[in-house]
């Protein structure tokens, strides 16, 4: 059965800390892995990863994919209270627009 597992489920840090969120997957016909941030409403897109070892970076956020070991990490450096959200990992499979979501990691950044 196809699945996406995120860890930890929740995390509490203080401003300025660096955090690493994990996403492992077992998905037949993997095509891409996506990271989303969800605050109160719709998930907002962060990164799409398709190739192993190539880091994607946006400001304090970065992500990398390992297709051999079937996982991805999302790093957030110098965390701010505005980073508090649920971070969702989704894996796209070939054919039929199928996306599998992990259960998310709830990040709480305290002042």
Partner 1 sequence: DTEVTQTPKHLVMGMTNKKSLKCEQHMGHRAMYWYKQKAKKPPELMFVYSYEKLSINESVPSRFSPECPNSSLLNLHLHALQPEDSALYLCASSHPDSGEYVGELFFGEGSRLTVL
Residues of this chain that bind partner 1 (CB under 8 A)? 31-32, 34, 41-45, 48, 50, 88, 90, 92, 94-99, 101-104, 106
Q: Least distance in Å: CB of 58 to partner 1?
A: 13
| Minimum distance from residue 9 beta carbon to partner 1 (Å) | 10
Contact 89, 100 (CB under 8 A): no
In sequence order, what are the residues at sequence separation of 6 or more whose Cβ sits closer than 8 angstroms to the Cβ of residue 34?
45, 46, 47, 48, 49, 89, 90, 91, 92, 99
Nearer to partner 1, 28 or 44 (CB): 44
Give the residue with the Cβ less far from partner 1, 14 or 99.
99
Q: Which one, 89 or 109, has the nearer CB to partner 1? A: 89
Q: How far apart are CA 83 and CA 18, in angstroms?
A: 11
């Amino acid at each position: 059965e196809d699945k996406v597992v995120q860890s930890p489920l929740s995390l509490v840090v203080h401003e300025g800390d660096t955090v690493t969120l994990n996403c492992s997957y077992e998905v037949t016909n993997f095509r891409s892995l996506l990271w989303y941030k969800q605050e109160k409403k719709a998930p907002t897109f962060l990164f799409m990863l398709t190739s192993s070892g190539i880091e994607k970076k946006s400001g304090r956020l970065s992500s990398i994919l390992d297709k051999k070991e079937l996982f991805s990490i999302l790093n957030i450096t110098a965390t701010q209270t505005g980073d508090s959200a649920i971070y969702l990992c989704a894996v796209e499979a070939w054919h039929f627009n199928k996306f599998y979501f992990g259960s998310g990691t709830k990040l709480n950044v305290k002042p």
